[in-house]
Amino acid sequence: MGTADWRAAKSPSYYKRGDYVPGLKVDGMDAFAVKQACKLAKEHALKNGPIILEMDTYRYHGHSMSDPVGAHTFTRDDISGVRQERDPIERIKKLVLSHDLATEKELKDFFINLNIDMEKEIRKEIDDAIAKAKDCPMPEPSELFTNVYVKGFGTESFGADRKEVKAALP
């Protein structure tokens, strides 16, 4: 988690590490660059096979609660600078405003409504999934490893006492 890429990999240029698979490094903070790269990657994949896309992005938060902001690699000032200069949403917002495609108020109203609608949709989707899960019967123990492991390796699942076999793959 805290190892620098130059220490963890022979080549930190991950997009070049596919040996015979071509790759692109993309500014993942630029929505237009990402769109173009994905379009190119799709065209390439359909005609020639796989391609690697390395998206270079900035992480605003630590990896976890035990990795607070400012503890290792970036400070609050760094984060603030990136948010002002490279944040994808802010970049598009500046572009829209500079070309008079919308006013600040129109954008604010749009995002407020979008967030409210998205939050309602997400909450409904979660509530529906929870209700569906609660209504479903528990699967049989023999289904425990279905679609998880390759059959034929004799994998077994034991009870807490390690004596009774609860499930086994053929």
Contact between 29 and 23 (Cβ < 8 Å): no
For residue 131, what pLDDT is reported? 95
Contact between 156 and 165 (Cβ < 8 Å): yes
Q: Nearest to residue 107, comparing CAs of 122, 90, 121, 120?
A: 90
For residue 38, what pLDDT is reported? 96
125-157 tens-digit pLDDT: 999 999 999 999 988 888 877 776 555 555 555
Q: State which amino acid sits at residue 72.
A: H
Handedness of CA 18, 38, 116, 121 (dihedral sign): negative
For residue 28, what pLDDT is reported? 92
3-state secondary structure at position 3: coil
- DSSP-derived secondary structure letter, 15: G
Burial of 26 (0-12, 13-18, 19+ CB in 10 A): buried
90-100 tens-digit pLDDT: 888 889 999 99
Mark the ranges of the chain whose per-residue pLDDT is less than 50.
none
Structure tokens given for 154: 């004799």
Global pTM? Answer: 0.57
